[in-house]
Chains A and B, each alone.
Chain A
Amino acid sequence: MAAGILVFAEHHQGKPTRAAWEALAAGQRLAADLGLSLTAIALGVELSPLMAELARAKLDEVIALESPALEVYTPEGFTSAVFQLIEARQPRLIIFSHTYQARDFAPRLAARCGRALISDCLSYRREDERLILIRPVFQGKFCAETEFMGEPPYFVSFQAGSFREDSVEAGAAPARVTCQAVTLAAGTIRTRPGEVFREAKQAVDLSQAKAIVAVGRGIKGPENLELARKLAEALGAELGASRPICDNGWLSMDRQIGSSGQTVAPNLYLALGISGAIQHLVGMKGSRTVVAINKDKEAPIFEVATYGIVGDLFEIVPPLIEEIIKAKSG
């Protein structure tokens, strides 16, 4: 098969993550635009159910790289395994979502190939034979058009929310599934990862939330969080916050959204009293529908909002809770 695109599909205990589908959505678009074949790869053990799920998408092939040594993620193990596949298949483009896992090993993999990774991209553009990647610089104050130099393979990672998981096209027929046993040289994996854990007992994974109510400085004090909680409850949403709220200890750090917290892309993001510093915006701008309620009409949060309400959140939220309950039951 002609050299094409490889998409790295991240999974959590055999279930594709949102990042996997977003990377696949990016891969489908690029494969169509560049006229290249599309292959998804996943690493681990007992990947058959995952392969079957990925194979339903419109792509040419899904490859499982299986080894007991890949059951738990390590940068050395994943770098070596994918490097072997790249040598065998000679793809032109390798696509990742810009997750913590990809950040951990994709630069190493690209360097092992002697090539570049253009990381954290927002979108791309094709101009004749040129592939132009658009990525944020200076923490989102500017965007940079970036291009590869030299020969492929090229490595790209896309920021969460740059492509939507629900835009993945289903295939007419299941894609070909290849299971490949991987042998890693003895001594490849030298680090010893322990169990993953959370600090707080009631920690939440906001990255998987479908709806989020987020509070910022405008909430004024911890005593007012109950209002936001009630709104979240009415919407079936998780509660999140901008950094100052968590720094003050009003909410636990695991509810922080932004560059130093979680990156989220829910269907609904309702921002209460958040001005929208860039560090916050990079963590939520992939959200589909954004509602912003803020006193200041010039607040940057309105730049990414679908619906904007300029006003006092303490006057607006109580009737809003009632209206949402009404609308849901209606």
Chain B
Amino acid sequence: MKMAVCLKQVPARDAVLRLNSDSTWVREDDVSFEINEPDIYALEEALRLKEKQGGEVVVCTLGPERAAQALKEALAKGADRAMHLHDPAFQNLDAYATARALAAAIRQAAPDLVLTGLQADDDGFAQTGVILAEMLSWDHSTIIMEIQAQERALKVKRELEGGWFQWIEIPLPAVLTIQSGINKPRYATLKGILAAKTKPLQRLGWKELGLDEESLKPHQKITKVFTPPKSGKVEWLEGTPREVAQRLADKLKNEARVI
């Protein structure tokens, strides 16, 4: 099975983030970046499927120069080749335009299955994979916790709310968005890192992807980013444990009216 994994490079989880000068995003010049966590699980799932039944894993990202590092890491872990969608025209794309560019790349790669994380930790859209499926006219399923490969179809376990799950049979080609925790992602080995140096990393701009300005037009725009206001609304209850317990019970009964 030929698989593509769409991944995104996002600021590291422990990065100290500061707003940029016009408060439209965070300052990116002094933070370290890493592969978006759910995308790491998506990559691992693709590598495992390949190990089980053969095939190819193509990794694909859209991002600036620095994003090539995420692709190199994926190649070191075992992906076969990489596509880097990189063009000045790709700056600040929304989910729709990003999906459109990815769809163009996926058509070129022609995989049977696309895997991606269920959402990016930076913008938190949780949309790009699903929009990509629509643009490709492929089926999709989201928040996947297990994949069983069958003949020209997959059986996938979808997480629902409240601890519920559902098995879904989905024909190929398809797009799946992967939930964190589906597997235990591997680390790149030294051998893998060395092997990655000779693997193909293709760079594609909007012309190579056959895109025009119209197709990258934004449909939504962030106008301002800000730190959530501190509510400071907390009412402190103080005293001995007994006094505090009495006061809280009284508040819950007579003020909040929840008991």
Residues in A lying within 8 Å of B, measured CB to CB: 75-76, 79, 99-100, 103-105, 107-108, 110-112, 115-120, 132, 135-150, 190-200, 203-208, 211, 235-236, 253-254, 260, 262-263, 267-268, 288-289, 291-292, 302-312, 315-316, 318-320, 322-324, 326-328, 330
Is B207 on the interface with A (CB-CB < 8 A)? no
Not counting A104-B143, A260-B181, A327-B259, a sample of 13 additional A-B residue pairs whose C-beta atoms are within 8 angstroms of each other reads A75-B140, A136-B228, A143-B226, A146-B221, A147-B220, A194-B167, A198-B164, A198-B165, A211-B258, A307-B251, A309-B244, A319-B246, A323-B249
Q: CB within 8 A of B17: which of A138, A206, A263, A288?
A: A138
Q: When A116-B94, A198-B165, A309-B244 are in contact, do A303 and B17 touch as well, CB less than 8 Å?
A: no
Q: Which residues of A contact B147 (CB under 8 A)?
A: none
Q: Which residues of A contact B130 (CB under 8 A)?
A: 75, 103-105, 107-108, 111
Who on chain B is nearest to A316 by CB?
Answer: B241
Who on chain A is nearest to B168 by CB?
Answer: A193
Count B-side interface residues using an 8 Å CB cutoff: 76
Tell me the smallest distance from the CB of B5 to a CB of chain A, in Å: 19
17 of the cross-chain contacts (CB-CB < 8 Å) are A104-B141, A107-B126, A116-B95, A117-B127, A138-B17, A141-B227, A142-B26, A144-B222, A145-B222, A149-B219, A192-B168, A194-B169, A260-B180, A260-B181, A306-B235, A307-B235, A323-B245
Q: When A306-B234, A307-B237 are in contact, do A322 and B220 touch as well, CB less than 8 Å?
A: no
Q: When A111-B131, A196-B164, A307-B234 are in contact, do A104 and B142 touch as well, CB less than 8 Å?
A: yes
Most buried by B among A100, A236, A260, A322: A100
Q: CB within 8 A of B220: which of A116, A211, A268?
A: A116
Who on chain B is nearest to A289 by CB?
Answer: B256
Tell me the smallest distance from the CB of A11 to a CB of chain B, in Å: 14
Tell me the smallest distance from the CB of A246 to a CB of chain B, in Å: 11
Interchain CB contact under 8 A, B248 and A199:
no
Tell me the smallest distance from the CB of B21 to a CB of chain A, in Å: 15
Interchain CB contact under 8 A, A148 and B219:
yes
Interchain CB contact under 8 A, B135 and A111:
yes
Interchain CB contact under 8 A, A322 and B236:
no
Q: CB within 8 A of A319: which of B163, B241, B253?
A: B241
Expressed in whole angstroms, the Cα–Cα distance for A193 and B35 within the complex equals 31
Q: Which residues of B contact A116 (CB under 8 A)?
A: 94-96, 219-220
Is B112 on the interface with A (CB-CB < 8 A)? no
Interchain CB contact under 8 A, B231 and A303:
yes
Chain B, residues 179-207, CB within 8 Å of chain A (1/0): the string is 11100000000000000000000000000
Residues in B lying within 8 Å of A, measured CB to CB: 11, 17, 19, 26, 94-96, 99, 121-127, 130-131, 133-135, 139-143, 159-171, 179-181, 217-228, 230-238, 241-242, 244-246, 248-253, 256, 258-259
Interchain CB contact under 8 A, A115 and B219:
yes
Interchain CB contact under 8 A, B121 and A111:
no
Interchain CB contact under 8 A, A319 and B242:
yes
Q: CB within 8 A of B244: which of A146, A211, A260, A311?
A: A311
Q: Which residues of A contact B224 (CB under 8 A)?
A: 144-145
Q: Which residues of A contact B253 (CB under 8 A)?
A: 327-328, 330
